[in-house]
Protein backbone atom coordinates (compact mmCIF):
# COMPACT_ATOMS: atom_id res chain seq x y z
CA UNK A 1 0.00 0.00 0.00
CA UNK A 2 1.37 3.40 -0.97
CA UNK A 3 1.90 6.06 1.69
CA UNK A 4 1.94 8.85 -0.90
CA UNK A 5 -0.78 11.41 -0.52
CA UNK A 6 -2.52 12.78 -3.59
CA UNK A 7 -1.28 16.18 -4.72
CA UNK A 8 -3.42 19.08 -3.66
CA UNK A 9 -5.28 20.96 -6.38
CA UNK A 10 -2.86 23.86 -5.93
CA UNK A 11 0.16 21.61 -6.60
CA UNK A 12 -1.45 20.11 -9.71
CA UNK A 13 -2.75 23.35 -11.25
CA UNK A 14 0.12 25.74 -10.48
CA UNK A 15 2.78 24.05 -12.68
CA UNK A 16 0.47 24.11 -15.72
CA UNK A 17 -0.41 27.72 -15.00
CA UNK A 18 3.27 28.69 -14.67
CA UNK A 19 4.15 26.93 -17.92
CA UNK A 20 1.37 28.77 -19.75
CA UNK A 21 2.60 32.10 -18.36
CA UNK A 22 6.23 31.36 -19.27
CA UNK A 23 5.35 30.30 -22.81
CA UNK A 24 3.35 33.50 -23.27
CA UNK A 25 6.39 35.51 -22.07
CA UNK A 26 4.58 37.02 -19.11
CA UNK A 27 6.10 37.47 -15.65
CA UNK A 28 5.37 34.60 -13.28
CA UNK A 29 3.32 36.12 -10.49
CA UNK A 30 0.33 33.80 -10.39
CA UNK A 31 -2.16 33.39 -13.20
CA UNK A 32 -5.01 35.19 -11.49
CA UNK A 33 -2.83 38.23 -10.92
CA UNK A 34 -1.61 38.33 -14.54
CA UNK A 35 -5.10 37.80 -15.91
CA UNK A 36 -6.61 40.59 -13.81
CA UNK A 37 -3.79 42.98 -14.76
CA UNK A 38 -4.20 42.19 -18.45
CA UNK A 39 -7.96 42.51 -18.30
CA UNK A 40 -7.85 45.94 -16.64
CA UNK A 41 -5.13 47.45 -18.81
CA UNK A 42 -2.65 47.47 -15.91
CA UNK A 43 0.21 49.91 -16.47
CA UNK A 44 3.18 49.34 -14.12
CA UNK A 45 4.72 52.76 -14.81
CA UNK A 46 3.75 56.24 -15.91
CA UNK A 47 6.08 58.59 -17.80
CA UNK A 48 5.91 62.36 -17.66
CA UNK A 49 8.18 64.61 -19.75
CA UNK A 50 10.48 66.96 -17.86
CA UNK A 51 13.27 69.25 -19.05
CA UNK A 52 15.35 68.11 -22.02
CA UNK A 53 14.92 64.52 -23.10
CA UNK A 54 14.33 63.20 -19.59
CA UNK A 55 11.09 61.76 -18.25
CA UNK A 56 9.81 61.36 -14.71
CA UNK A 57 9.12 57.66 -14.08
CA UNK A 58 6.43 56.77 -11.57
CA UNK A 59 5.99 53.08 -10.73
CA UNK A 60 3.10 51.39 -9.03
CA UNK A 61 4.01 49.82 -5.70
CA UNK A 62 3.57 46.38 -7.27
CA UNK A 63 5.91 47.19 -10.18
CA UNK A 64 8.59 48.52 -7.81
CA UNK A 65 8.27 45.38 -5.70
CA UNK A 66 8.54 43.08 -8.72
CA UNK A 67 11.79 44.60 -9.92
CA UNK A 68 13.15 44.89 -6.40
CA UNK A 69 13.71 48.66 -6.39
CA UNK A 70 15.70 49.92 -3.42
CA UNK A 71 17.00 53.39 -2.65
CA UNK A 72 19.87 54.74 -0.59
CA UNK A 73 20.77 58.25 0.48
CA UNK A 74 23.65 60.18 -1.03
CA UNK A 75 26.11 60.24 1.84
CA UNK A 76 28.99 62.48 2.80
CA UNK A 77 32.54 61.18 3.19
CA UNK A 78 35.30 63.69 3.93
CA UNK A 79 34.74 66.33 1.23
CA UNK A 80 32.88 64.04 -1.19
CA UNK A 81 29.36 62.94 -1.97
CA UNK A 82 29.14 59.15 -2.22
CA UNK A 83 26.56 56.87 -3.88
CA UNK A 84 26.50 53.08 -4.27
CA UNK A 85 28.21 51.83 -7.44
CA UNK A 86 24.94 50.10 -8.47
CA UNK A 87 23.27 53.54 -8.64
CA UNK A 88 25.59 54.75 -11.40
CA UNK A 89 24.43 54.59 -15.03
CA UNK A 90 26.23 55.43 -18.26
CA UNK A 91 24.26 56.51 -21.32
CA UNK A 92 25.39 55.69 -24.89
CA UNK A 93 27.32 58.99 -25.05
CA UNK A 94 29.26 58.14 -21.87
CA UNK A 95 27.41 60.61 -19.65
CA UNK A 96 26.93 59.49 -16.04
CA UNK A 97 23.61 59.56 -14.20
CA UNK A 98 21.78 58.39 -11.10
CA UNK A 99 18.04 58.19 -10.49
CA UNK A 100 16.83 60.36 -7.65
CA UNK A 101 13.59 59.61 -5.84
CA UNK A 102 12.01 62.93 -4.82
CA UNK A 103 8.89 61.13 -3.57
CA UNK A 104 8.20 57.43 -3.03
CA UNK A 105 7.82 55.49 -6.31
CA UNK A 106 8.88 58.54 -8.38
CA UNK A 107 12.26 58.55 -10.15
CA UNK A 108 14.09 61.27 -12.04
CA UNK A 109 17.41 60.87 -13.85
CA UNK A 110 20.01 63.32 -12.56
CA UNK A 111 23.45 63.99 -14.05
CA UNK A 112 26.52 63.28 -11.93
CA UNK A 113 30.23 63.87 -12.39
CA UNK A 114 32.34 61.00 -11.09
CA UNK A 115 35.51 61.85 -9.23
CA UNK A 116 36.54 58.25 -8.56
CA UNK A 117 35.21 54.77 -7.96
CA UNK A 118 36.46 52.76 -5.01
CA UNK A 119 34.98 49.28 -4.70
CA UNK A 120 31.20 49.60 -4.32
CA UNK A 121 31.32 53.36 -3.76
CA UNK A 122 31.24 56.18 -6.31
CA UNK A 123 32.70 59.48 -5.14
CA UNK A 124 31.05 62.39 -6.93
CA UNK A 125 32.62 65.67 -7.97
CA UNK A 126 29.10 66.89 -8.68
CA UNK A 127 25.62 65.45 -8.20
CA UNK A 128 22.53 65.46 -6.00
CA UNK A 129 22.83 66.93 -2.49
CA UNK A 130 23.78 64.76 0.48
CA UNK A 131 20.65 63.07 1.85
CA UNK A 132 18.95 62.73 -1.56
CA UNK A 133 17.42 59.31 -2.15
CA UNK A 134 18.89 57.56 -5.21
CA UNK A 135 17.99 54.21 -6.76
CA UNK A 136 20.57 51.74 -5.45
CA UNK A 137 18.96 48.56 -6.82
CA UNK A 138 17.00 48.54 -10.07
CA UNK A 139 18.48 51.63 -11.76
CA UNK A 140 18.82 49.85 -15.11
CA UNK A 141 15.14 48.85 -14.99
CA UNK A 142 14.15 52.46 -14.33
CA UNK A 143 16.38 53.60 -17.22
CA UNK A 144 14.82 51.03 -19.57
CA UNK A 145 11.36 52.18 -18.51
CA UNK A 146 12.22 55.83 -19.10
CA UNK A 147 13.57 55.02 -22.58
CA UNK A 148 10.51 52.81 -23.21
CA UNK A 149 12.62 49.76 -24.00
CA UNK A 150 10.17 46.85 -24.44
CA UNK A 151 10.56 44.06 -21.89
CA UNK A 152 11.26 40.53 -23.07
121 plus 79 within the same structural domain: yes
What total number of domains does the chain contain?
A: 2
Q: Render pLDDT for 31-56 as a digit per residue (tens, 0 to 9).
A: 444 444 555 678 999 999 998 889 99
Residue 12 in 3-state DSSP? helix
Domain contains 53? yes
Q: Which residues contact 7 (CB under 8 A, 6 or more apart)?
A: none
Residues 72 and 137 in one domain: yes
Q: Which domain holds residue 27?
A: 9-40
Q: Please report, rounded to a whole number, the percentage of residues in the chain having pLDDT higher than 70.
A: 72
Specify whether the CB–CB gap between 88 and 119 falls below 8 A. no
- What are residue 62's DSSP bridge partners? none
- The reply to whether 87 and 129 lie within a common domain is yes
pLDDT in tens, 95-112: 999 999 999 999 999 999
Residues sharing a CB contact under 8 Å with residue 58, sequence separation 6 or more, in sequence order: 45, 46, 47, 48, 105, 106, 107
How many CB atoms within 10 Å of residue 29?
A: 14
Amino acid sequence: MSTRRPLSLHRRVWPACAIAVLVAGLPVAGCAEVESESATGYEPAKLEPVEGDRKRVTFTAEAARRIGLRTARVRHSADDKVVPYAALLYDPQGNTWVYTSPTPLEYLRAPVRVQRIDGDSVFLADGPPVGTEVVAVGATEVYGTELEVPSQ
